[in-house]
Structure 1
Amino acid sequence: MTQILDKPRQEVIKLYGNRQRLRVCGLYREDSRLLMVRHRGIGPTDTFWCPPGGGTHFGETAPDALVREFAEETGLDVTIGELLFVNEFMQPPLHALELFFAVEVQGGSLRQGLDPEMADDEQIIQEVRLMTFEEIKRYPPHEVHALFQYCDSLDDVFTLRGYLHK
């Protein structure tokens, strides 16, 4: 692993590794594009694209956590829609149960946000943008969230249901 990956990867493992987390994730579609966040320090390369989301806090409902995470990561104010599916993310030492919801944007301005658990020099959010399904699928499978292995189109993303376990 290169020097640039060592510090973010170590911080991710320190904060989230070797324990199971509950994460909430939001699927926001604008025309033919899906909102995605690029992280570093997750997986074998400096790139991991996934929909916005993050961990819940004790005493925080899943919808409230997702509203907070969207604001932190993307600058957008959202309302939470239907729970679509659950994914079990297992990429040792990371393990999370992820609840995926449809979301609607109500306000705010799209921007690259931060992860408040991380110091300024250890931020793992590298980019936030709307991407076409074709753009997402151009990345190797280990550089995008596993949910895209189940889909052949952006419409398919919103028809996923149940428990994903590839």
Structure 2
Amino acid sequence: MNADVSAFSHQLRTRVCGLLVQPDAILLIQLHSPVTDKLLWMPPGGGIEFGETMEECLKREFHEETNLEIEVGELVHINELVSPPFHALEFYFEVSKKRGQKELGSDPELGSDKQLLKDLRWIPFSELDRIPWAPQSLEDKLKNWGQRDTYPIFTGS
């Protein structure tokens, strides 16, 4: 395991992620996953720092990773990831763009030669079944994004 990402393991991490959605696509980041050790697409987000609210964290992480300033909307999904040595509780919020131009950022806690972020793209919902992405527990919500009234926020891990 990479020494820099070992800080993410052997503890419960609380993460927040933002779902920035267009009518037919979602903004995802491709990263080198410390969990699978493979490239994976995920919504932008990251770990909450001590003393930071979920909203503050999501705004900070989204800006670090995408160069976009956002407004945080409603909580739409909770995912629990248990894949030893990693364990995370992830809160997914609907977000809207406030300002900025989309640009791949970085993880300031990792050195320039240890960056996990690789790409940033609008991924059409129709292509989600053709790429490796997470969390899969979001799939039904994303496919029915425009028709949603209410649905369960937590569906288990």
TM-score surpassing 0.5? yes
Q: Which residue of 1 aligns with 2:153?
A: 162
Indicate the RMSD between aligned Cα atoms, in angstroms: 2.2
Asked if 1:144 is matched to 2:115, the reply is no
Sort the Cα spacing of 1:16 and 1:81 in 2 relative to 1 into closer, same or farther, 3 A. Answer: same
Give the aligned residue type for 1:164. Answer: T
- Describe the shift of the 1:87–1:144 C-alpha distance in structure 2 as closer, same or farther (beyond 3 A): closer
Give the aligned residue type for 2:143.
Answer: S
Distance 2:147 2:19 in 1: 9
Letter aligned with residue 72 of structure 1: E
**Given that residues 38 and 128 in structure 1 are in contact (C-alpha distance below 8 angstroms), is that contact kept between their aligned partners in structure 2?**
yes
Residue 47 of structure 2: which of 37, 55, 59 is its match? 55
State the partner residue of 1:120.
Answer: 112
Q: 2:23 aligns with which of 27, 31, 38?
A: 31
Please, what TM-score do these two structures have when normalized by structure 2?
A: 0.88
TM-score by length of 1: 0.84
Query: Aligned partner of 1:84: which letter?
Result: V
Secondary structure of the structure 2 residue equivalent to 1:164: coil
Displacement of 1:149 in angstroms is 4.6
Alignment of 1:51-130 (within 5 A): 51-130=43-122
Moved more, 100-109 or 10-19: 10-19
**CA contact 2:23–2:146 (8 Å) conserved in 1:** no
Alpha-carbon distance between aligned partners in 2 of 1:139 and 1:50, rounded to the nearest angstrom: 11
8 Å Cα contact 2:69/2:97 also seen in 1:
yes
User: Number of residues paired by the alignment?
Assistant: 156
Q: CA deviation at 1:133?
A: 1.2
Q: Which residue pairs with 2:8 in the alignment?
A: 16
Whole-Å Cα distance in 2 between the matches of residues 145 and 12 of structure 1?
23
Greater helix share, 1 or 2? 1
Identical-pair percentage: 33
Structure 2: 5+ residue runs without aligned partners?
A: none
Cα separation, 1, equivalents of 2:69 and 2:142: 29
**2:79, 2:135 within 8 Å by CA — same for their partners in 1?**
no
Q: 1:29/1:37 Cα in 2 relative to 1: closer, same or farther (>3 Å)?
A: same
Q: Which runs of 4+ in 1 moved over 6 A?
A: none
Secondary structure at 1:67 match in 2 = helix
Q: Deviations over 1:50-106 (max 9, x none)?
A: 111000111111001000011000010001011112111122211111111110101
User: Tell me, which stretches of 5 or more residues in structure 1 are unaligned?
Assistant: 1-8
Q: 1:163 to 1:152 in 2, by over 3 A?
A: closer
Q: Is residue 136–residue 144 contact of structure 1 (8 Å, CA) maintained in 2? A: no
